[in-house]
Structure 1
Amino acid sequence: MTIGIVIVAAGRGERAGSPDEGPKQYRPIGGRPVIAHTLETFLKWQRRGPIVVVIHADDEALYAAATEGLGDKETVVTTFGGDTRQRSVYEGLRALSGTEATHVMIHDAARPFIDHDMLDRIAKAFDEGVDAVLPAVAVTDTLKRGGSDGLVHETVSRNGLYAAQTPQSFLLSEIRSAHEKAAALRRDDFTDDAAIAEWAGLPVAIVEGSVDNIKLTVRRDIAMADEKLSSKLPADALPDVRCGNGYDVHQLVPGDGVTLCGVFIPHDQKLSGHSDADVALHALTDALLATCGAGDIGDHFPPSDMQWKGAPSRIFLEHAAKIVREKGGTIMNADVSLIAEAPKVGPHRDKMRENLSSILGITIDRCSVKATTNETIGFVGRREGIAAIATATVVYRGEQHEPLSL
Structure 2
Amino acid sequence: MHQKQPAIGIVVVAAGRGERAGASEEGPKQYRTIGGKPVIAHTLEKFASWELSRHIVVVIHPDDEVLFAKAASQVQSGAPIDAVHGGSTRQQSVLAGLHHLRSKNLTHVLIHDAVRPFFDHTLLDRIASLLSEGVPAILPAMPVADTLKRADLDGTVLDTVPRTQLYAAQTPQSFAFEPILAAHEKAASANLTDFTDDAAIAEWAGIPVRIVEGLADNVKLTVKRDIAMADSRLSGQALPDVRTGNGYDVHQLEPGDGVTLCGVFIPHDQKLKGHSDADVALHALTDALLATCGAGDIGDHFPPSDPQWKGAPSRIFIEHAAKIVRERGGTIMNADVSLIAEAPKVGPHRDAMRAKLSEFLGISIDRCSVKATTNETIGFVGRREGIAAIATATVVYRET
- Give the TM-score band, short-chain normalised: 0.5 to 0.7
1:58 aligns with 2:59: no
Shift of residue 129 of structure 1?
Answer: 1.2
Question: Which of 7, 11, 35 is 1:2 aligned to?
Answer: 7
> Partners of 1:19 and 1:94 in 2: how far apart?
32
Shift of residue 120 of structure 1?
Answer: 0.6
> Partners of 2:193 and 2:217 in 1: how far apart?
29
Question: Which of 115, 124, 134 is 1:119 aligned to?
Answer: 124
TM-score when normalising by structure 2: 0.57
Which residue number corresponds to residue 49 of structure 1?
54
Aligned partner of residue 98 in structure 1, secondary structure: helix
Which residue number corresponds to residue 80 of structure 2?
75
**1:171-208 deviation line (CA, Å, top 9, x unaligned):** 11000000000000111100000000000111000000
Which residue number corresponds to residue 97 of structure 1?
102
Shift of residue 74 of structure 1?
Answer: 7.4
Shift of residue 231 of structure 1?
Answer: 2.5
Map 1:134-145 → 2, pairs under 5 A: 134-145=139-150
Question: Which of 212, 227, 230 is 1:225 aligned to?
Answer: 230
Aligned partner of residue 97 in structure 1, secondary structure: helix
In structure 2, runs of 5+ residues without a counterpart are: 1-5, 241-400
Amino acid at match of 1:85: R
Q: Kindly name which structure, 1 or 2, has the bigger radius of gyration based on alpha carbons.
A: 1
Which residue number corresponds to residue 112 of structure 2?
107
Which residue number corresponds to residue 209 of structure 2?
204
Shift of residue 93 of structure 1?
Answer: 0.3
* Number of residue pairs the alignment of both structures matches: 235
Query: In 1, are the aligned partners of 2:59 and 2:84 still within 8 Å (CA)?
Result: yes
Shift of residue 114 of structure 1?
Answer: 1.2
Amino acid at match of 2:102: S
Shift of residue 48 of structure 1?
Answer: 1.2
Shift of residue 71 of structure 1?
Answer: 2.2
Shift of residue 139 of structure 1?
Answer: 0.3
Shift of residue 69 of structure 1?
Answer: 3.8
Map 1:277-316 → 2, pairs under 5 A: none
Shift of residue 21 of structure 1?
Answer: 4.2
Bigger relative contact order (CA 8 A; separation at least 6) = 1
Q: List 4+ stretches of structure 1 deviating above 6 A.
A: 232-235
Which residue number corresponds to residue 385 of structure 1?
none
Amino acid at match of 1:97: R
Give the percent of matched residue pairs that are identical in Structure 1 and Structure 2.
61
Query: In 1, are the aligned partners of 2:41 and 2:74 still within 8 Å (CA)?
Result: no
Residue 71 and residue 149 in structure 1: after superposition, are their counterparts in 2 closer, same or farther (change >3 A)? Answer: closer
> Partners of 1:83 and 1:93 in 2: how far apart?
16
**1:31-65 deviation line (CA, Å, top 9, x unaligned):** 00000000000011111111111111111110111
Map 1:348-387 → 2, pairs under 5 A: none
> Partners of 1:29 and 1:155 in 2: how far apart?
37
**1:6-38 deviation line (CA, Å, top 9, x unaligned):** 111111111111154411000000000000000
Amino acid at match of 1:23: P
Shift of residue 103 of structure 1?
Answer: 0.2
